Structure 1
Amino acid sequence: MFFIGIFGVENKNKEIKILDNISCKICKGTVTGKLIKNYNFFHFFFIPLFKWNETYYVKCTGCKSLYTISKDKGKAIENGENIEITYLDLQEVNIQYNSNDYFRENRCLRCGREIDSNFTYCPHCGERSK
């Protein structure tokens, strides 16, 4: 009997939940956000066997800013607990240096608005983008 094993390591993003009443540092207001879990996993025949390097992100639905939150709070929300995310829980991620395509967007680091990748300066606030 001939047996070929298919296995590998992959990275995955999973949208967990829509969160209300997030205090976005860029929007300077209360908005909704998406809780996203990013992790690596090992699979055998497309069956995930184990996960590691779990990170939880909150993405503002208004300005598309990206923040990390603690793993404890992320797991608690994923498990259905009623946990509040405060302004202090959100740690801003510099999306310009994030290598994950799911999060990559051309945004001005000053005003947070989306800009074309060919622009040297933000057309909204004038900040140098390159």
Structure 2
Amino acid sequence: MIFFFGITNGQKELDFHQQMTCDLCGRMGHYRVFMTYMVLSIFFIPVFKWGRTYYVETSCCGSVYELRPETGRAIEYGENVTIRQEDLYLRQKGSNVRERKVSKICYNCGYETSEDFEFCPKCGRAFES
């Protein structure tokens, strides 16, 4: 008797929609959640999955985060979940992430900006040269 079996990697995109403001690039975007796993197939039929890891990719800059397994499972099962920053672990910075250049700091409130303002947009005091 001949058995055809194999072990392969799998990836599945999960149905999840949440808008966010990216901490890395500062732009608005949304999360794309997907999971990767290993699968054992017998006669080309998937029989057993293991090693599930959940990831989040941002649409603004393409940064990839690893998602806490509890949160990822809840999303996989269709529960109403909000992803918080504590649930994410940065794995790869996106290609569109620019280092933010700070050119002015308000000495009154501590606001930092790279724009060419004469007055602080937060407290209204004049920037010192």
Distance 1:23 1:46 in 2: 42
CA shift at 1:66, angstroms? Answer: 0.2
Whichever residue aligns with residue 33 of structure 1, its letter is Y
Whichever residue aligns with residue 24 of structure 1, its letter is C
CA shift at 1:77, angstroms? Answer: 0.8
CA shift at 1:32, angstroms? Answer: 0.6
Equivalent pair of 1:19/1:34 in contact (CA under 8 Å):
yes
For 1:10-89, list aligned pairs within 5 A. Answer: 10-89=8-87
* Partner in structure 2 of residue 111 of structure 1: 98
Question: After the TM superposition, which of the residue ranges 28-37 and 5-14 deviates more from structure 2?
Answer: 28-37
Q: Are residues 1:4 and 2:5 paired?
A: no
Equivalent pair of 1:39/1:55 in contact (CA under 8 Å):
yes
CA shift at 1:33, angstroms? Answer: 1.4
Equivalent pair of 1:22/1:30 in contact (CA under 8 Å):
yes
Distance 1:74 1:92 in 2: 15
Unaligned runs of at least 5 residues, structure 1: 96-104, 113-130
Equivalent pair of 1:22/1:87 in contact (CA under 8 Å):
no
CA shift at 1:87, angstroms? Answer: 1.6
Distance 1:73 1:91, change over 3 A: same
Structure showing greater radius of gyration is 2
Whichever residue aligns with residue 111 of structure 1, its letter is R
CA shift at 1:38, angstroms? Answer: 0.4
Partner SS for 1:27: coil
CA shift at 1:25, angstroms? Answer: 2.5
CA shift at 1:20, angstroms? Answer: 1.3
Distance 1:33 1:71, change over 3 A: same
Distance 1:68 1:39 in 2: 13
Provide the TM-score with structure 1 as the length reference: 0.67
> What RMSD over aligned residues (CA atoms) do the two structures have, in Å?
2.2
CA shift at 1:29, angstroms? Answer: 4.3
Identity rate of aligned residues, in percent?
33
